[in-house]
Amino acid sequence: MPRVVHCADLHLGANFSGLPGHIGQRRKQDMMESFKKIIDLCEKMRADLLLIAGDLFDDVVPRDELVEIVRMGFADIYQTTVVIAAGNHDAALPDSPYNRKNFWPANVITFNGDIKRASVPLLDCAIWGAGFVNIYQDECMLKNPKLDDEQLNICVMHGELTVGEARSPYNPISRDAVSASGLDYLALGHIHKRGEILRIGDTFVGWPGSMEPLGFDEQGEHGVYVGEIYKGGHTMEFVPLARRLYADIHLDVTGLAREETMHYLKDRIISLPGGYENLAKITLTGLVEDILLNEDYIADGLASVFYLSVRDMTDSELPTDAKEFDLKSVFARKMRKLINESPGDESLRLALKLGLAALNDRTLSVKEVLT
């Protein structure tokens, strides 16, 4: 049974243009550190196979220095067979490093174009793969591989597992195609969110997600699948390896004091693996009573976070003079008292929000009510 590391979507060389320059540069370094973690993991576990299911690089023609670092990394794990399928970001166009002759170490197999087979005699298994030769691939590349049923058959490719008649410009792979393939394990990439390993027919299908999250739409832990693959089963498990995570936090501050707001936000960030070493985007909504509860207050209190973005979308509709006896002030004080007595009752905060909006002769949208 081969010991396998399955990764995808490393996007080495990505620019992170949406982040400030120095933060983007650090994220590029993080990506290289994560690549080194994969190499170290292969060496530590004496992996037989490193499966890279597309988008190893973020560009079709990555920088020569970057390609050389990657080449040397693969050379360092000469005992591991490295299998690379070209993806849509690093499609094997004419100038691609995947087309360089006598460039990659002897332990590296690259797949470009239609599905093919490569034998790994020492492992007594057949490795199948297909790779993008254009940025788009409208047709399914998993087409009737002629398997040797006596061997273990593993396939690596970049693509999307589709449902029904759904189409995709990124190698749409139907469940029927997977089931008909007869493969033992299909190593996929392209979707940056990790999916649980599925069984379709006799084939196990896994996609580990991107090695590092690339933006705030890619929350949760990121890493690789590691384990053994054998006829009829596997022991593949997810191993988190990402240097940093992204947190997109939306908080309705209606009825919350400054200290409560800060405590909540710190707890959310600290609860992530890596804590303050991560990237956080905070959006404040709702009705705010304390004028000091603003972007500057949040930024100062969370200054230790690696990267922080704060957006204040609150409304300042609570009366600021606690001694006022108009209807709005009395209502706000009474509701504030109830909220303090039952801090976990979300219905009280909703009642405060709706009540103040009505007293201010303002109609809330459905989105404002629900956030």
In the predicted model, what is the mean pLDDT of residues 350-356?
79
Q: 63 pLDDT exceeds 60?
A: yes
Asked whether residue 357 carries a pLDDT value surpassing 80, the answer given is no
Specify the pLDDT at position 267: 96
Average pLDDT over all residues of the chain: 91
Helix (H) or strand (E) holding 179: helix 175-181
Q: Could you tell me which CATH class the domain 3-240 is placed in?
A: alpha beta
The segment(s) of the chain belonging to CATH 3.60.21.10 are 3-240
Indicate the pTM of the whole model.
0.85
pLDDT band at 134 (very low <50, low <70, confident <90, very high): very high
Can you give the pLDDT at residue 348?
83
CB < 8 Å & 24+ apart, contacts of 237-243: 238/194, 238/208, 239/41, 240/273, 241/34, 241/37, 241/38, 241/41, 241/211, 242/34, 242/211, 242/212, 242/213, 243/30, 243/33, 243/34, 243/212, 243/274, 243/277
| 77-98 pLDDT, tens digit each | 999 999 999 999 999 999 999 9
* Better pLDDT: 371 or 51: 51
Cβ neighbours of residue 150 closer than 8 Å, sequence gap 6 or more: none
Determine the Cα–Cα distance for residues 306 and 149; give it in Å rounded to an integer.
Answer: 51
pLDDT given at position 353: 74
pLDDT band at 9 (very low <50, low <70, confident <90, very high): very high
C-alpha span between 93 and 96 (Å, rounded): 5
pLDDT score at 340 = 76
Is residue 61 very low, low, confident or very high in pLDDT (cuts 50, 70, 90)?
very high
pLDDT the model gives residue 284: 93
